Amino acid sequence: MNSSESMSYESKNSEAGEVSATGTGVTFVLVEASDAGQRLDNWLLRTMKGLPRSLIYRLLRTGQVRVNGKRAKPDQRVAEGERIRLPPRKDAPPPSEAPSPLVVSKSLREVVESSIVREDKDLIALCKPAGLAVHGGSGLSFGVIEALRAMRPDESELELVHRLDRETSGLLLVARNKKTLRELHTLFRDGKVEKRYLALVKGQWNLGRTTVDVPLATRQKQGGERMVRVHESGKEARSTFEAADFFGSRATLMQVEIDTGRTHQIRVHAQHAGHPVAGDPKYGDREFNEEMRDMGLDRMFLHAQSISLDWPNAGRTYQVSVPLPPELANVIDVLSSSRRRRRR
């Protein structure tokens, strides 16, 4: 750290939220208690208003944003009192190049609005369709959260509580205030949220109720594509699989509970167990995927079915579940009909 930057660290009694500046244009911001638990990229998007997500990621990648003097990753959670280094605003695009406000199409508004299954003063629960991203990035202008914010401009604190892969359908929670976001992040982090998925996997599952407890490592390929693999240097990850229905030696419908929320966790754990998820373009089996396509499966068969949690600070239990979407239910009907014909 150079001398001009070190000046920002002289005050030991500063309050959270203080912004201190240096002669270089670099500023340091203390994280407020109300922001604790947010992903760093989301915190930066709110703090450095007007910067596109792609530039935020570049600032992180090149080390121009630092947390307590150290390089940081986009998915890192911020904590109260942490000092975050922000580069000079000269890195922001000039007004002529600044992004225009996002205009959400009528069709997207209708999709997002119709996907809401429950909402109260604290939370919005959506059944996200497959193919719709939860947030913008990787070439996408926006996802569910950006659409919600555009649709509800009076709600300034809408934030994703957790994430789903773009190819996965099912339950997604959005917090309507920072207090809810912070409390639910704590419950998720402490493993006090029960999340259940339905997945169709290749072959006949003969492993009973099995917990796959192997670490997962993510690597970024050229072009930004993420690939995940089982590796001892990876992060802890646990998924519990239990068969819900059998379709002979062809496929098994599984109920999956996850104790951790790693990228592509269920997909990679299923592949590791020798039973890849049907329709998975990254970790699946090509021949099996083609067979399932002939049965009408044109997407990955992974669906976030239910979420339940005891919420002490709110004094209540929160439970919500959604059925399989029609395109997946139809595949199950085709498999069931084929099974009946083979038994005759």
**279 within domain boundaries:** yes
Q: Are residues 75 and 121 in the same domain?
A: no
**254 within domain boundaries:** yes
- pTM reported for the whole predicted model: 0.74
Phi then psi for residue 240, to 5 deg, are -110, 125
Looking at 93, 127, 159, which one is the last position of a domain? Answer: 93
Looking at 26, 60, 93, which one is the last position of a domain? Answer: 93
Q: Are residues 54 and 173 in the same domain?
A: no
Q: What is the mean pLDDT of residues 47-65?
A: 85
**176 within domain boundaries:** yes
**289 within domain boundaries:** yes
pLDDT number for residue 14: 40
Catalytic residue among 35, 41, 122, 165: 165
Q: Are residues 121 and 228 in the same domain?
A: yes
pLDDT number for residue 15: 45
Looking at 93, 121, 151, which one is the last position of a domain? Answer: 93
Helices (H), 120-254: 144-151, 178-189
41, 47 in Cβ contact below 8 A?
no
Model confidence pLDDT, tens digit, residues 244-286: 999 999 999 999 999 988 989 999 999 999 999 999 999 999 9
**101 within domain boundaries:** no
CATH code where residue 167 lies: 3.30.2350.10
Distance CA 261, CA 243 (A): 21
pLDDT number for residue 3: 36
Model confidence pLDDT, tens digit, residues 217-251: 988 664 557 789 999 999 999 999 999 999 999 99
Q: What is the mean pLDDT of residues 291-298?
A: 96
271: number of Cβ within 10 Å: 22
Which domain, by its residues, includes 218?
Answer: 106-343
Query: How would you classify residue 80: left for phi > 0, otherwise alpha for psi between -120 and 50, otherwise beta?
Result: beta
Q: Are residues 18 and 157 in the same domain?
A: no
Can 333 be counted among the known catalytic residues?
Answer: no
